[in-house]
Amino acid sequence: MSFFRSMTSVNFRVNEKGETTFFFPVIAGRWCLRKGVLVTSGEDVEKLKRLLGVHFAILLFVLAPPLLFVGARLLDLSTTSRSAAFVLFCLAIAVSYSLIFDRLFISRIVDKYERTDEKPDFAALRRRPQSHSWRSLGIQGLLNMLLLASGLYAVFSRLWPALGILLLVVFAITGAQVAYRVVLKLRAGDSTSNE
């Protein structure tokens, strides 16, 4: 579960007073469609964390495999335009699913709370070493390497070169982000061990 907890860490921010601001939906770990909600109940924060774990589990293990199967087996993704259209279609499905999940489950909890003027500062969160556990960083790194290998295979086998190039570009960027978080965590460990 630490993998899902690290994925949902972008959705919560705790200020100096101990108040929790909740952001949803967050797209690509960077953009939030609306301002935050100040959630004052610890019980509701825990409910939201559980719901987000379910949300990401459904997205990764229920929706993604059929989409990848359809893209790999049934569609001819040999051209850049078809590959780009398929990726945009997958993104549209993910965003639509997030908005539907928000309407059906999340809004039932957060509608009773007031919206804040606070906007998410994801750059600061990503720099914070404790926002990701070693286990979640390892899983993210492994997934990145597998998807990079898939991209390399698609390019060198000439099966789906356009999709392979797209995979290489996207997961090289996310892999660099994971590597940066590992470096930050190592530095934080060094600074705490020196004190």
pLDDT at 29: 56
Q: With 0.95 as the threshold, say if the pTM is over it.
A: no
Residue 58 CA to residue 140 CA, distance in Å, equals 17
pLDDT at 2: 47
Per-residue pLDDT tens digits of the chain, which is 195 residues long = 445 555 566 788 887 888 888 888 776 555 676 778 889 888 998 999 899 888 888 887 888 778 777 776 666 666 667 767 777 887 788 888 988 999 999 999 999 998 888 776 655 555 454 556 777 778 878 888 888 888 888 778 877 676 677 777 777 877 777 787 788 778 776 444 444
Q: Are 21 and 9 in contact (CB under 8 A)?
A: no
pLDDT at 192: 46
pLDDT at 160: 67
Residue 22 CA to residue 14 CA, distance in Å, equals 9
